[in-house]
Homo-oligomer: A and B are copies of this chain.
Amino acid sequence: MSLKTTATIASFGGKLLKLTHDATTTGCEMALNLYLPPNAGATQQKVPVLFYLSGLTCTGDNCAEKGFFQYGASQKGIAIVYPDTSPRGLKIQGEDDSYDFGSGAGFYIDATADPWSKNYKMESYITSELPKALFSSFPELDSSRVSITGHSMGGHGALTLFLKNPGMYKSVSALAPIANPSNCPWGEKAFKGYLGDDKESWKKHDATELIKKWKSSFDTLIDVGTGDNFYKQKQLLPENFLEAAKQSGNDKGIVLRMQPDYDHSYYFISTFATDHVNHAAKYLF
């Protein structure tokens, strides 16, 4: 369904649009933010797009307010899409019971297990319905130049959607991604709930499994803070991803930076946001 603009906010020379639409994949109204850089619509030249997928508990608002992506996006002339992290308000039993499952925790997959399979279709929403809605509503966006990045659960989303959809995205990067969800508490809970007990079915949603079968070149920038408690608790496991990439010969283009003392917060995200915009810009231009 078409996007409705509920607010327009000046930011770094461009505009942050607060958007909503009735999404058919999720069966509910979805909210998101779209940042249009200063040059969007100024000429015939369309601007490329960077999807930023947020982490657990977030909406599209958190990073738009605190992530500092608009600064780099304004300079480079890249639009940023900040989608929500799950369907909302469906009244499915248990959807609001925990911070790491249900509302705010869609994990960017299409659920197959009941009662989630009807609405928790964030993979279809992010890769198909939302881009269609955006590119039909905003002709200043270039549907042929799209990149993806994200933080934590959104880093998992970015890596897996890139690896599942060869050619869809020009580049991928991630901040503190959940890089091997099948082997960490967050991922195990989510995959069990959304996909069921068959761990074989989890593999096609796990970046560490997907990289093993990747057959093309693979470049990415991944930042993880050494002071990140979730890293210490082995929720992120970037080493597993790197090791799997090494074993399959796909590690040459992976830049994994362990950032001293940085935590999991938006202080970490904002510090490295411009690096991730610049990473995308290399492939979008």
Contact = CB atoms under 8 A, between A and B. Distances in A.
A10 B270 contact: no
A267 B66 contact: no
A265 B13 CA distance: 15
A13 to B, nearest CB: 7
Interface residues of A, number: 24
A70 B273 CA distance: 13
Nearest to A267: B11
A13 B261 CA distance: 10
Nearest to A226: B10
Contacts of A71: 68, 71, 270
B65 A261 contact: no
When all copies of this chain in the complex are counted, the total is 2
A227 interface: yes
A9 B263 contact: yes
Contacts of A10: 225, 227, 259-263, 267-268, 271
Interface in A1-48: 9-13, 16
Contacts of A227: 10
Contacts of A225: 10
Given A9-B267, A10-B262, 16 more contacts: A9-B263, A10-B261, A10-B263, A10-B267, A10-B268, A10-B271, A11-B267, A11-B271, A12-B270, A65-B66, A65-B267, A66-B66, A68-B270, A70-B270, A71-B71, A71-B270
